[in-house]
Amino acid sequence: MKGQYVMSGIIVIALLSGCSSPSGSPNTAASNETDPSAGAGNTGAQTLDLLVPNYYNDTEKKLWEKVVNKFKELHPDIKVELVAGEVKVESGKLTTMLQSGVTPPDAILINAGPGRVKTLSDVNLIKPLNELYTKNKWEEQLRPTAYELVAGEENIFELPHTLDAIMVFYNKDIFDKHGVTTPATKDEFMSMLEKLKEAGVSPITVGARNGYAIGWIFSNIMESVAGREAVENLIYGDGKWNAPEFVKAAETLEDWVKQGYIPKEAVTLTQADSKFSLLSKRAAMEIEGTYLISDIADQKLEDSMAAFTMPSFIEGKTASPTGGIGLTWVVPSKAEDEDLAETWLNFVLSKDFSEITLGDPTYNLIPASSSSASIQPAGAVLAQAIKDIENGFGYNPTVFIGPEAKEAYYQNLQGLLGGLVTPKQAMDNIEAGAVKDRAAGYQVKKK
């Protein structure tokens, strides 16, 4: 029975109360079970079961409740059971749940990436959605970039929910106090770092203990130092991690630590530690995705925080925020109600969904739907992020690379920050992981 899943979701959340992920807070265990649609009038209604990432905070939870209530308004005959829990494929918890005898939810919102989706599709844990794409004309309802990133293979197993924009978040009060302005060139960026350091301010905080967070800053460095074309060739073509332009990017990260622009203790900090340093004005900047907006709103810091794109270090080039598909919907193979999942996914792509999310200044994600493109976000930081990706975005490699390369990527960037490997050694080790992935048949194709 479908009720089995709800109990399973509660257990998963309880067990993972100490975990953290780039799409969820570690402090939401007991409060994450919610049914915003529960109440009178639902007796005998069909039940749509959904699993979404752990909430960052109560602000994000309340926004999900608004979304579900809007869905209920449009579909009063459908009851919604919304459970927040662990959705990172890497943890193995999600795979275990889908392989168990427990009836899974009708749709799951997971951290995106070809490697993550492939892990589930290769063992038939999620359904191909080709027929639904054709039936509902989903290609037309997605931003072109979002569709291109998922449509390279014969079967499509996901429906993009959001696009990431990983940028430089900064504290305006610190900048104003020390006469620092947002930089437009490499020289201005480096001058800004030095000026903040001389003033006794920690320029950049990084929660490198969490691999994904060190990946965020390095993806920005790769975009600025190596350039988007080189990174794109690395992901889709015959590029190599130990090519000179990527070694140079690694040298840049190493130099920022040596110069004191990134504290050496960053390797021991979690992403939560790093975020606290930024929001409490102990550090001037942090490289992160728009998901930080929810925390900014929750702590009522909207007037103190803003974001900019790290400038290109290549003469004549313009850099963009890095990213890819941020969160994406999948439908479990054992889901009982694909028709309800289809109804929900059509809602996610609708203007109704875009209006209720983008109309809330606390919303922290960029919708992947084409319907959202014509709506001005209420939040200033999100509006800036969307503007900055109008001409495309750079690549956050962790969304695209295979499991061996990803493990080597995180470990060696942490090692680089801690002085355990040289830039060349780090890139050689990541390339060795990529070689193993290629030998195993891992390849990302572009439409």
Look at residue 447 and tell me if it is in a domain: no
- Is residue 198 pLDDT above 70, yes or no? yes
Q: In this structure, are 72 and 213 located in the same domain?
A: no
Indicate if the pLDDT at residue 32 is higher than 80. Answer: no
**pLDDT averaged over the chain?**
89
Is residue 107 located within the same domain as residue 130? Answer: yes
Q: Is residue 295 part of a domain?
A: yes
Q: In the listed set 349, 384, 417, which residue is the last one of a domain according to the structure? A: 349
The answer to whether 314 and 73 are in contact (CB under 8 A) is: no
From 314, 349, 384, give the residue that closes a domain: 349
- CB-based contact 108:7 (threshold 8 Å): no
> Do residue 72 and residue 147 come from a single domain?
yes
Maximum average pLDDT range among 42-51, 74-83, 148-157, 289-298: 74-83
Q: Residue 65 falls within a domain, yes or no?
A: yes
Same domain, yes or no, for 269 and 283?
yes
| Assigned domain for 10 exists | yes
* Structural domain boundaries enclosing 193: 165-322+398-439
**What percentage of the chain carries pLDDT values higher than 90?**
79
Taking Cα atoms as reference points, which of 368, 88, 429 lies closest to residue 241? 429
Asked whether the whole model's pTM tops 0.95, one would answer no
CATH of the domain at 150: 3.40.190.10
Q: Is it the case that residue 424 has pLDDT exceeding 60?
A: yes
Which residues in 301-311 are b (16+ Cβ under 10 Å) and which e?
beebbbbbbbb
Closest CA to 360 of 162, 69, 76, 64: 64
Q: Which of 308, 140, 145, 274 is nearest to 205 (CA)?
A: 274
Q: How many domains does the chain have?
A: 2
Does the structure show a pLDDT above 50 at 196?
yes
Structure tokens at 73: 């308004």
Quick one: which of 151, 159, 162 has its CA closest to 107? 159
Q: Are residues 309 and 421 in the same domain?
A: yes
Ramachandran bin of 199, using left for φ above 0, alpha for ψ from -120 to 50, beta for the remaining angles: alpha
Q: Is the same domain home to 138 and 199? A: no
Compute the distance between CA of residue 285 and CA of residue 178 in angstroms, rounded to an integer.
14
393 found inside a domain: no
| Inside any domain, residue 358 | no
Among residues 26, 420, 436, which one has the least CA distance to residue 210? 26
Question: Do 151 and 14 belong to one domain?
Answer: yes
- At 55-69, the pLDDT tens digits run 988 999 999 999 999
Q: Rounded to an integer, what distance in angstroms lies between the CA atom of residue 369 and that of residue 352?
A: 11
Same-domain pairing of 149 and 224: no
* Phi, then psi, of 109 in degrees rounded to 5: -100, 110
Average pLDDT over residues 70-95: 93
Q: Residue 44 — very low, low, confident or very high, per pLDDT cuts 50/70/90?
A: low
Going by DSSP bridges, is the β-strand pair 33-34/366-367 parallel, antiparallel, or unpaired? unpaired
Q: Check residue 377 and give its pLDDT.
A: 95
Residue predicted with more confidence, 201 or 445: 201
What values do phi and psi take at 248, rounded to 5?
A: -65, -40
For residues 155 and 38, membership in a common domain is answered with: yes
Residue 32 lies in a domain: yes
**123 and 176 both lie in a single domain:** no
Under the banding of pLDDT at 50, 70 and 90, the label for residue 23 is: very low
Cα(195)–Cα(177) distance, rounded to whole angstroms? 12
Check pLDDT > 90 for residue 272: yes
Which residues are within 8 A (CB) of 17 and not within 5 positions of it... i.e. 6 or more apart? 26, 27, 28, 29, 30
In a domain, 50, yes or no: yes
Phi and psi torsions of 325, nearest 5° = -75, 130
User: How high is the pLDDT of residue 250?
Assistant: 98
**83 lies in the same domain as 184:** no
Q: Do 151 and 204 lie in a common domain?
A: no
